[in-house]
Amino acid sequence: MFKKRSFFEKLTGSVRVENDDLEEELGDEENEAGEKIQKTETEEGEGQLTVDVYQNPNEIVIKTMVAGVRPEDLDVSITRDMVTVRGKREAERSISTDDYFHKELYWGSFSRTILLPQEVDIEAAEAVERHGLLIIRLPKLDKDRQARLKVKGG
């Protein structure tokens, strides 16, 4: 069925593409094994947190904004040389998309992995959230620290 072109389309020479046309244009592809893969117009990705990472003589500190996320919805995983923060920010479902004038905030799953410049003591690490700011304190491991062991006789 032919649709009448708008004034803008006539002026610029552009052509309107409907979702059905886009799906046909995207089509299917085959992967390396020859299996059919259907392409999608957009795939919902995971957001990436912005962070500040700094150190003082005793610890490495990571700060990130997690406003709108409940502390129980945050997952902070720590190894001696890496930290990963994951979470999900839920949007209000009571507001229709058509009622928005601007929609710039990120809603959905997010994560961030930070490679640390030196090893940290994971047992003494702590994470605190206040007013939407997550602060992770990671005490540095002192590799130069020495201890003397007493040898016990048998």
pLDDT of residue 2: 55
- The string of pLDDT tens digits covering residues 17-42 is 554 544 444 444 454 555 444 333 32
pLDDT of residue 25: 43
pLDDT of residue 87: 92
Contact 25, 40 (CB under 8 A): no
pLDDT of residue 42: 29
What residues does each domain of the chain span?
7-38, 47-93+102-139
* Nearest CA among 122, 88, 132 for reference residue 107: 88
Contact 76, 64 (CB under 8 A): no
At the topology level, CATH places domain 47-93+102-139 in Immunoglobulin-like (2.60.40)
* Nearest CA among 51, 59, 107 for reference residue 76: 51
- The string of pLDDT tens digits covering residues 122-136 is 999 999 999 999 999
Low-confidence ranges of the chain (pLDDT < 50): 19, 21-29, 31, 35-43
* Nearest CA among 49, 54, 79, 76 for reference residue 65: 49
Which residues are within 8 A (CB) of 55 and not within 5 positions of it... i.e. 6 or more apart? 61, 117, 140
